[in-house]
Amino acid sequence: MQTYVRFDDDLPEDVIFGLDQEFLDGIARPFHTKGGDWMSFVGVQRNGTVWVARGSNESLKNQPSKERTWEIFDLGQPLQPNTWYRLRVEADFGTRHFRKFLVEGPGFTKSLDLSELTLDYPNFIPFSDRAMSFYVCAMRGRSLMNPLGQFQGKPIVYFDDVSGGAINADGSETLTFENGFEGLYEVGSQPVTLPVIDLKQYEQGHWYLERDEALFRIQKTSTARSGQAVGIADASID
């Protein structure tokens, strides 16, 4: 999966922005375990710190994580504001391992080998069948925020040209999802049904909020990387 991302001059340093692709095992035909949710989240701070949500021996035994475990890396230099960067995550959902993370921008390319890290299993989610889901986000935690108010500014991050797919055995790629936020200007709640979440209620290739309290919108702008619109993630904490 990959996305392009940019931020303004006043983005607080404690905001983590990133991308995530998740393989949902589903109920009908689980590959690993019924209801498994296999996550390959990687996030970045503007200072160059990289956050990888890693799994554990327990998650490989099909036990959901009790708490998030982070592996921290450093890009070696900060990211610049008002600049589009490409973020790309490769993961192997068959072996449940990350492969690598790439950041690419004007005059800067950095690749991190993540192949020793297993994917996390954060939740049991009873979707009716297998599915791949793709996410972009910005977040911050109260524990990361400086109590003296050092990290002030607008916690807004812009995304464009999100895509995802499969890497074939010969190294070629098959694109299965591509979206630049064009033509849709409202992101709503997921059509969740219980006790089993019916995949047929979802529109394929459509953006939904992961949680109802998420602050995400689509907006037209002259600074879009392509087209006329971007996705805007707001990491405000009230």
Distance (Å, whole) CA 9 – CA 78? 13
Name the residue with tokens 């949680």.
Answer: 211
pLDDT at 67: 87
Distance (Å, whole) CA 198 – CA 7? 36
Is 31:86 a contact under the CB 8 Å cutoff? no
Distance (Å, whole) CA 25 – CA 23? 6
Is 42:72 a contact under the CB 8 Å cutoff? no
pLDDT at 32: 95
Reported as a single tens digit per residue, the pLDDT across 32-52 is: 999 999 999 999 999 999 999
Reported as a single tens digit per residue, the pLDDT across 95-115 is: 999 999 999 999 999 999 999
Backbone angles phi, psi at 140, to 5 degrees: -155, 150
pLDDT at 144: 56
Q: Which pair of tokens denotes residue 62?
A: 């099909």
3-state DSSP percent of the chain in helix, strand and coil, to 5: 5, 45, 50
Element (H, E) at 59: helix 57-60
pLDDT at 237: 80
Backbone angles phi, psi at 58, to 5 degrees: -70, -40
pLDDT at 148: 46
DSSP state of 60: H
Distance (Å, whole) CA 101 – CA 120? 16
How many residues belong to the chain? 238
Name the residue with tokens 């998420």.
Answer: 214
DSSP state of 140: -
C-alpha 210 chain-centroid distance: 11
Is 159:15 a contact under the CB 8 Å cutoff? no
The whole-number mean pLDDT for each consecutive block of 10 residues of the chain, a chain of 238 residues, reads 97 95 96 95 96 93 90 96 98 96 96 97 94 95 56 90 93 92 88 95 93 94 95 90
